[in-house]
Amino acid sequence: MTASSTPDIVAAIQRLLESRADGRYGLHFVTQQQHALQAAWLAEREGKGDAMTAAALLHDIGHLVHDLGENPAAAGIDDRHEEVGHAWLTRHFGPEVTEPVRLHVAAKRYLCAVEADYFGKLSPDSVLSLALQGGPMSAEEAADFEARPYHADAVQLRRYDELAKVRDLVTPPVAHFMSCVTRVVRA
C-alpha cells in the first residue's frame, strides 16, 4: 500500500476487506470478511476501544495481503500471516494495534499451554495450524510471552478470534468500523 494520507489508508483497508475477504475462512462456514467483522464487533460491544477494535478487525489482514488460498494449513503451510500482517500494518499504526496482531498466534500457543481446557475449544483448522505454528508453548516460552508489553491484548484478541466464526451472524458492515480505524491511523 502506497497511500500516505489517513483517508487513503482507510480507503485501502476498506477496499481490501470488501473486495479480497470473500473467501472462506479456513474450514469454517464464514468468510474472511465475516470473521474480521465478528471479531471487531465483539471488541466494540465490550467497549475495548478503538485500538483493540481495529486490531480485531485487522488481525488476519496478512491472509489478504499475500494470498495462499483459503486454507494453507491444510497443505501443511504456516503462512505466518501474523508477521505479514504486522509488517503491513506497522507503516500506518502504532503498537497498540500492531502488536496484538503480531502476537495473536503466539497467544493461541500460550493459551494452550496455560489453560487446561483451551485446546479443546479450538476449531479443527486452529488445531491444524497450531501444529504448524509450534504447538503449545513451553513453560519458558509462556514466561517470555507474559513479559511482552502487549501480551494481555493479544490474549484478548485471540479470544475474539476463536469466537468470531459464527455462521450467518449479522454484524455491522465494513464501513461501520472505518471511523474506529481512522482514529488510530498514524498518517
**Per-residue pLDDT at 184 exceeds 90:** yes
Phi, psi of 89 (to 5 degrees): -80, -30
pLDDT attached to residue 31: 87
CA dihedral defined by 153, 154, 157, 163, rounded to 10 degrees? -130
Secondary-structure breakdown of the chain: helix, strand, coil percentages, each rounded to the nearest 5: 65, 0, 35
Q: Which CATH class is domain 6-184?
A: mainly alpha
pLDDT attached to residue 128: 79
pLDDT attached to residue 83: 80
pLDDT attached to residue 23: 58
Q: What is the pLDDT of residues 105-156, one digit of tens each?
A: 899 999 999 999 999 988 777 887 787 788 899 999 999 999 999 999 999 9
Indicate the domain borders of the chain.
6-184
Give the chain's mean pLDDT. Answer: 86
Between residues 157 and 133, which one has the greater pLDDT?
157
Rounded CA-CA distance 41/57 in Å is 8
